[in-house]
Amino acid sequence: MPALTRLAEDEAIFRDSVYEFADREIRPLAREMDEHAKFSPELIKKLFELGVMSVEVPESYGGAGGTFFHSVLAVESLSRVDPSIGVLVDVQNTLVINAVMRWGTDEIKRKYLPKFATSLIGAYCLSEAGSGSDAFAMATRATEVNDAVKGDGFAINGRKLWITNGNEADMFIVFANVNPDAGYRGITAFIVDRGTPGFTVGKKEDKLGIRASSTCELIFEDCVVPKSQILGEVGKGYKVAIETLNEGRIGIGAQMLGLAQGALDHTIGYIKERKQFGKPIADFQGVQFQIARMAMDVETTRLLVYNSARLRDAGQPFLTEAAMCKIHSSEVAERVASMAINLYGGNGFVKEYPVEKLYRDAKIGQIYEGTSNMQLMTIAKGILS
């Protein structure tokens, strides 16, 4: 990758090492994982060994002790090869681990952070059938119980939809309302372990793109969770959700950035080899102009994503910038992947070549973790207030 954006030496080494891993270990498996809609278990083990499943977990808990920016670099580098792996790592780091580190009690941190560094995958469970963009209109309820039969804690009842990592996760951050009369101020975040009675993983969605990444329904039927498993405070789950998702959008920006860079990489290699009228199509000015626009799109995305991550690490306001990087990166990913198919011609439309998959993978970027319209509302509010 051209050194168009300045990185500290350790950041550049980290980014390149993750990409080298992805090129060596993920690329040979990407098509098969897409076709079978399933991650390779051995590959997941290698991700833990690489340290990208616990980037910000402190070294004292067995993690890599990196920064949020390192997480963003990891997601970008992995997504250049397979955005499905990118979102697995993104949700783990920018949503689940960050929520535990910020809102978890000392007991919760001791229980989960060391496991994130070795084998534990987490999932973030907010969306429901009737609460997508209007996330706080959730129907899932948590009722306080204290008896010999059900135990002492909160009984969760409801369903969650479109949950990333649903098949692979053993730990789930679940949002439920303990006091519907209080509206969003009743929402509370609970940590639910796989195997808890009353909790089952339901239907796995058959998706257009990022197919290896599992997207599942979760079902809660009198699922009793101890009070010690509350993340943050009772009634403050909305705060956990908002602040975590603000950071998560930067991670999605990094995923879409990596996807766009991967599509550009493939296309540059292809147009140098593909010949028409006796010479490589890269020699034609029309093709050169299209490649130039693709490269320009990718680099503007990189600047937005990196700037948002730097602001977050510096403790500066970043909400507007995160929304900008999320919507821009998702639009660029679709646009660049589409142009890649155009430049591949007929070959771009078949599964034998990689850009077809990247085009399918790109579409979700404009939908999850805040639709494009929601990002526009956030940007407008930020600049007009």
CATH of domain 123-235: 2.40.110.10
Domain boundaries, the chain: 9-121, 123-235, 239-384
DSSP state of 139: -
Give the pair of three-digit tokens for residue 53: 């499943």
Best CA proximity match to 96, nearest among 79, 117, 65, 73: 117
Q: Is CATH 1.20.140.10 the right assignment for the domain spanning 239-384? A: yes
Q: Long-range contacts for 117-121 (Cβ within 8 Å, ≥24 apart)?
A: 117/48, 117/51, 117/53, 117/54, 117/57, 117/61, 117/62, 117/63, 117/64, 118/48, 118/62, 119/45, 119/48, 120/170, 120/171, 121/44, 121/53, 121/88, 121/92, 121/165, 121/168, 121/169, 121/170, 121/171
Give the mean model confidence (pLDDT) for residues 3-13.
83
On the question of a common fold for 9-121 and 123-235, the answer reads no
170, 193 in Cβ contact below 8 A? Answer: yes
Catalytic residues: 369
260 — pLDDT class (breaks 50, 70, 90): very high
Strand partners, 201: 218
Mean pLDDT of the chain: 96
Q: How confident is the model at residue 4 (pLDDT cuts 50, 70, 90)?
A: low
For residue 2, the model assigns a pLDDT of: 47
What is the pLDDT at residue 264?
98
- pTM: predicted TM-score of the whole model, two decimal places: 0.96
Q: Which of 133, 136, 43 is nearest to 88 (CA)?
A: 43
**Regarding beta strands 275-276 and 187-193, do their DSSP bridges make them parallel or antiparallel, or are they unpaired?**
unpaired
**Of 190, 175, 189, residue with least CA distance to 135:** 175
Mean pLDDT within 119-142: 93
Q: Is the pLDDT of residue 96 over 70?
A: yes
Helix or strand or coil: residue 171? strand
* Residue 370, number of CB atoms within 10 A of its CB: 24
CATH fold for the domain made of 9-121: Butyryl-Coa Dehydrogenase, subunit A; domain 1 (1.10.540)
Give the pLDDT confidence score for residue 1 in this predicted structure: 47
pLDDT of residue 151: 74
Question: Is the pLDDT reported for residue 3 higher than 60?
Answer: no
